[in-house]
A = this chain, B = another copy of it.
């Protein structure tokens, strides 16, 4: 897989500037943001974007890919943690935080395994794989109920991301909501805490 030729210095600078700007613009205007607006904000010619990204979709994909790659890397760092439960919930939280502030991450997860575009398919698989590792280890450590499988985990994760992205889950809403999901992932309750005397615990990672 040769990465084609290395880009010239200025080309690389432009590429990054475009990506950074596009991320901001997308977060602000959503997917309907126009290429022209992105070019304007990046202070770059319109065709310059097209030189690097042949299509609007390609640009979006590049952004998502970058972000997912970062998350995958982070997940790998957590994969051999000595506290698999904490690692698992930590990562789940991180992904949702990311979605809260930057839009369009979600596609990567939602479509996981489905009709992913060329560029994503490999990465998507990596993402799924590393999540599966986190899950399995957390289950082995007795921190997540054993009967949870990947499909519902991914469903929960993308649900949280979608809602966080759209609803601007700010604290303490995010913590409180995830807390419920995490309790569910830990296992069936024995009924609500009778006294319910205690306050609310955080996601107890």
**Are B192's CB and A189's CB within 8 A?**
no
User: How many Å lie between the Cα of A200 and that of B151 in the bound state?
Assistant: 14
Across the two chains, which residue of chain B brings its CB closest to A146?
Answer: B196
Contact stretch, chosen from A9-17, A56-64, A124-132, A165-173 = A165-173
A167 nearest CB neighbor, chain B only: B110
Is the CB of A158 closer than 8 A to any CB of chain B?
yes
Q: With A187-B191, A188-B189, A189-B188 known to touch, is A155 a contact of B177 (CB < 8 Å)? A: yes
Q: Which of A128-149 contact B (CB under 8 A)?
A: 139, 142-149
B159–A176 CB distance below 8 A: no
A83 within 8 A of B: no
Chain B residues, Cβ within 8 Å of A142: 191-192, 194
Task: Name the residue of chain B whose CB is nearest to the CB of A139.
Answer: B192
| Residues from chain B with Cβ under 8 Å of A194 in the complex | 142
Question: A201 to B160, alpha carbons, bound, how many Å?
Answer: 22
Convert A167-204 into 0s and 1s, putting 1 for each residue whose CB lies closer than 8 angstroms to a CB of B.
Answer: 10100010011011111111111111110101111000
**A33 on the interface (CB 8 Å rule)?**
no
A44 within 8 A of B: no
Is residue A156 contacting chain B, with contact meaning CB distance below 8 A? yes
- Contact between A186 and B186, CB atoms less than 8 A apart: no
Interface centre among A156, A164, A169, A180 (most CB of B within 10 A): A180
The answer to whether A192 and B160 have CB atoms under 8 Å apart is no
Q: In A6-59, which residues have CB < 8 Å from any B CB?
A: none
A163 at the interface (CB under 8 A from B): yes
Q: Is the CB of B189 within 8 A of A186?
A: yes
CB pair A147–B200 under 8 Å, yes or no, is yes
Contacts of A185 in B (CB 8 A): 180, 184
